[in-house]
Chains A and B, each alone.
Chain A
Amino acid sequence: MMDLLPFLISFYLGYLFIDQFLRNQREWTDLDVFLVPGIGLGLSSQIVFFCLLFFHHNSPIAVLIIHLILISFLFKKRLGHASKHSLTLVWSRFLLFAMPFLIYIVLTALIRPYGEWDAWSYWNFRANFIMHSGGRWEEIFHYNLQGFHPLLLPLIIVWGWSISGQETTLIPMLVSIVFTISTAGLLMGALRSYMSARLAILAGIFLCSIPYFLYHGTSQYADILTAYFLLASGVLGIKLFEKVSWSNSILCGICLGLLAFSKDNGIVAAVLLFLTLGVALLKEEKNKLNFNYTAIGFFIIGISVVIVKYLSSFNKINHAYDIVFSQIFQIQRWSIIINYLYATFFIPYWGGFWIVVLLAFGLGWRKLKQAEAGFIFHFIWIYFSLYLIIFCISVLQLDWLLSVSLDRFLYLLMPLLIFNVFYAFKPSRNS
């Protein structure tokens, strides 16, 4: 039971925070309901991070007090126009549909209590180190410890372990389960604004039916967090074309910031999505204000990413990031990459995802790049091309790199791609 306490505190903080943002702006939607867990846990990680910087070690009591102060402050100012009833109704309706998949999710989590390799050797290890290293916590950025990814996932786990009072494998397991379910819910909630409940549910169920989505989601990697915040940033970005709304804009910016705080791929994705969104928004004068507010939200959370990168810059350069640009002209490397891509697209555990998505892109690419969702389309192809180039010019062994990274890189795009296809092919109001 104590293991659930940090989650309940974070969810309540997320709920009050979003409620405050929507003040006088608009009503709660299904989308907001599924933003609650992500925003709540994201805020908790930020509080843990700034307490680490301030006190130079993990200080659970200070973190808890700040949570309680924030909650009581927001509670006094709450509007409560999302009644608890509607929140629980949306969640329980969703969980009812997701129930069969929930069993699979729990089983995949239970069979790997420590998660997959990088979960224990990288993400959970970092959480463990921050918990126990005291004033040495900055050594987490030592060059020996492979890469300098930002700390969203480890800090959520630190928050969970600190409040529950025990370092069980249950906390990282629950984090992965919460984000896996919330990503499917977010997809459904986002589409619900544009189409019938039936089609929105189809999208959510399709995502949950992809074995790799659930299996990798519960591997306790940061990829599911990146996928969640990428989807959240994309769907909130589309809303910015509808009307001038500082609440949507700042929420979108916060999601971009948390996306960047999730891992290095997230930083690239956040910057690129911000740029493509910015280019699309600034085409019209009326959207300028939305863009400015998004930038503010992104900047506020982006500060922690800059601090992490600054702290890690004191260490030796990690050669994993070295590149050899001339490799871009090596046909052999490109053919290896294409072979891997081809093999990946038809592996059964992707559940036919790539077949349908590539077909949709082939048949309706004009639709996909049209109108408000055009920035997502441009983001996807630029991000995709960029990573293929990075694979090609990296100094790391290409076979090894592709075997460990390609699936994970494609995984991040999965929920956003489904959203993009459903959004582009949404039935018109007349039909």
Chain B
Amino acid sequence: MKQVIEFNIQRVIFVLFTLMLLPNIYMELRDSQFFVQELKTNPPEILGGDFIPLHPYLSQIPWAGYVPCYESPSPAYDVNLMAPFQQAQFVLSPTLLDYYNALKYPWVILYCPEPNTLEQKLRSITAKPVVVLNNGVALAHRDLK
């Protein structure tokens, strides 16, 4: 009797595994269609493209501060703040960026995509712009003396 029960449980488990294949494969087919469509209509963008023009200026700079104009009460969990910061970090490597102690470094990267905010920010941190891009990204220098 025990053996019969065990045998049936075994069959139930393997049949369930087999049955699950159908909806799963259907989901994958549906997703595949979506992916193909997406690849045709929206080819992937270059990640961190906004910051790439700064790369040549930073080749000899090991660390730089990162100052965004957007402020957040909980920066570590804020996607709007962390996304551009980490994209900058990714494309500007091996220069490392510091958000938390940004004003500790003579070189600072600013990210102010909102119009007219960049100049205000430069003034507030007393930095001189070295490179200013049209998209609100800038490389600035601060005199730390």
Instruction: Report which A residues bind B (CB closer than 8 A).
Output: 100-101, 103-104, 107-108, 110-114, 117, 120-121, 124-125, 128-129, 132-134, 136, 139, 142, 144-145, 199, 202-203, 205-206, 209-211, 214-215, 348-349, 351-353, 355-356, 359-360, 363-364, 367, 397, 400, 421, 425, 427, 431
Residues of A contacting B144 in the complex (Cβ-Cβ under 8 angstroms): none
Closest to A122 in B: B86
B87: which A residues are within 8 A, CB to CB? Answer: 120-121
Whether the Cβ atoms of B20 and A351 lie closer than 8 Å is yes
> CA–CA, A114 to B91, complex, Å?
12
A352 engages B24 (CB within 8 Å): yes
17 extra interface residue pairs, beta carbon distance < 8 Å, beyond A107-B35, A133-B94: A108-B31, A111-B38, A112-B44, A117-B86, A120-B90, A121-B87, A125-B90, A128-B93, A134-B94, A139-B96, A202-B17, A206-B17, A211-B27, A351-B23, A352-B16, A352-B20, A425-B9
Query: Is B113 part of the contact surface with A, judged by Cβ < 8 Å?
Result: no
CB distance from A219 to the nearest CB of B (A): 14
Total interface residues on B, CB under 8 Å, equals 38
How distant is the Cα of A112 from the Cα of B25 in the complex, in angstroms? 21
A145 to B85 Cα, complex, angstroms: 12
User: Would you give the 0/1 interface string for B18-46, flagging 1 where the beta carbon is closer than 8 Å to chain A?
Assistant: 10110111011001100110110000100
**A214–B90 Cα gap in the complex (Å)?**
25
Q: Contact at A209–B93, with CB atoms within 8 Å? A: no
- Pairs across A and B, CB under 8 Å, 17 listed: A100-B25, A107-B31, A107-B32, A107-B36, A121-B90, A124-B90, A125-B93, A128-B90, A129-B94, A129-B96, A134-B94, A144-B99, A211-B24, A355-B20, A359-B13, A363-B9, A364-B9
- Bound-state CA distance A354–B45 (Å) is 35
- The answer to whether B28 and A104 touch across the interface, beta carbons within 8 angstroms, is yes
Q: How far is the CA of A363 from the CA of B77 in the complex (A)?
A: 41
Question: A209: which of B28, B35, B44 is its contact (CB, 8 Å)?
Answer: B28
Nearest residue, chain B, Cβ from A142: B96
Whether A125 contacts B39 in the complex (CB less than 8 A), given A132-B94, A352-B20, A425-B10, comes out as: no
Instruction: Choose among A114, A145, A209, A348 the residue that contacts B21 (Cβ–Cβ < 8 A).
Output: A209
- A209 contacts B25, C-beta separation under 8 Å: yes
| CB pair B14 A104 closer than 8 Å | no
